[in-house]
Amino acid sequence: MSRYEEHARPLPAGSRRTGPKAGAGRLPGAVAVAVTAALALAGCSSGSSSSATVAATTSPSASGATRASATSGQSNGATQLQEAYQTVIADVLPSVVQITTGDSLGSGIVYDDKGDIVTNAHVIGSAKTFTVTLANSTTTLDAELVGSYPDSDLAVIRLTKPPSGLKPASFGDSGKVQLGQITLAMGSPLGLSSSVTQGIVSATGRTVTEPQGPGSPGATIGNMVQTSAAINPGNSGGALVNLDSKVIGINTLAATEPQTNGAAAPGIGFAIPASTITNIADQLIKQGKVTNSGRAALGITARTSFNQQFQPAGAVIVAVTAGGAAASAGLQAGDVITRIGDTQVDSLNALTTALASLTPGSKVTVTYTRDGGTRTAEVTLGELQAP
């Protein structure tokens, strides 16, 4: 079993405290990943000399017809896109719910017709009972915890009396998510239920570490989908959807800009991919716990190591699990890991992030120091077990 003692991780877009109305200042309960932004301008051009020449040499009547045709084409295209949006919203929004836990709220996705709802672990925190409001409804329904897996920031709750007509969402193939795909983020941002924002897939394969805090497990999650669709407090646990009406992720993190005292970084949000959601949710529903996390592990307990200048200098092994990956490769307590493959490790957080991007069973070179000397070991990674 691999457990990581983390004391200073970068924090998820989380549940929103109930009470303050939208626009009533900064909301407590929000969690975000710290992102340092680098901005650059990109040029673009509109039109060309050849089209300008055609317009100048065309008769007035033909020119008017050409403009009318172009305008009609643009109008048809805009209408088709609008209709596509409306179709997706009609298909998926009924599957997105609002979850209230004590004095905070978040979002969730109807997973099956038995009343199972998947959400973020940081939305439910340590609570065991919840109230759920379906889309476009004011009636609250009671729900209970099925299971939670904080290492992937996912949880499942179940309606105690599922109403008829529940509409489970359809989950897509994470492997087919591509840059530039249009996405819609659905949930309850700032407590505004059944809200929808739009954007694109900005990146895939991101490994992001959530900050630790009340209700936030501080998980490091790999293969996340980055989107420009606005994600705000209360969106956590909601659906990130493509134009095929497929859920491709669960909205989880909203970025902040550390150089502006944590102000929102517009257009940078992260969602846990559908493949991770279905893998974890299926296990929680069937057995109440996770036995196949799909996450790589060394089989150690570790903490950040500091050099003589009190600067982070690696991850020191505190304990090695008997029969685990590290033990089988000869690693010992006291060894300081400084590199995983080609990735430098200068802290426990860096080690956790490096492992999150790998898979169980893969082989990796671990560089470490022992007794003042640098050594390497070829390690076949194990699997992170549930706590």
Q: Which of 307, 305, 365, 294 is nearest to 331 (CA)?
A: 365
Q: How many helices (H) and strands (E) does the chain have?
A: 6, 25
The CA distance from 285 to 73, in Å, is 49
**Helix, coil or strand: residue 263:** strand
Q: Which of 217, 241, 277 is nearest to 89 (CA)?
A: 241
**Annotated catalytic residue within 228, 236, 245, 293:** 236
Largest CA distance in the chain: 87
Dihedral angle of Cα 187, 117, 146, 205, to the nearest 10 degrees: -70
Three-class DSSP labels, 314-330: EEEEEEECCCCHHHHCC
157-160 contacts at long range (C-beta below 8 A, 24 or more positions apart)? 157/99, 157/108, 157/116, 157/117, 157/119, 157/124, 157/130, 157/132, 158/114, 158/115, 158/116, 158/117, 159/115, 159/117, 159/132, 160/115
Token couple for 217: 């497990």
**Annotated catalytic residue within 116, 153, 335, 346:** 153
**Annotated catalytic residue within 122, 148, 174, 305:** 122
DSSP element (H, E) containing 365 = strand 363-370
Active-site residue flag, 236: yes
DSSP element (H, E) containing 275 = helix 274-287
Active-site residue flag, 69: no
Identity of the amino acid at 130: F
The CA distance from 289 to 44, in Å, is 52
377 near 366, Cβ under 8 Å? yes
Active-site residue flag, 371: no
Catalytic residue annotation: 122, 153, 236
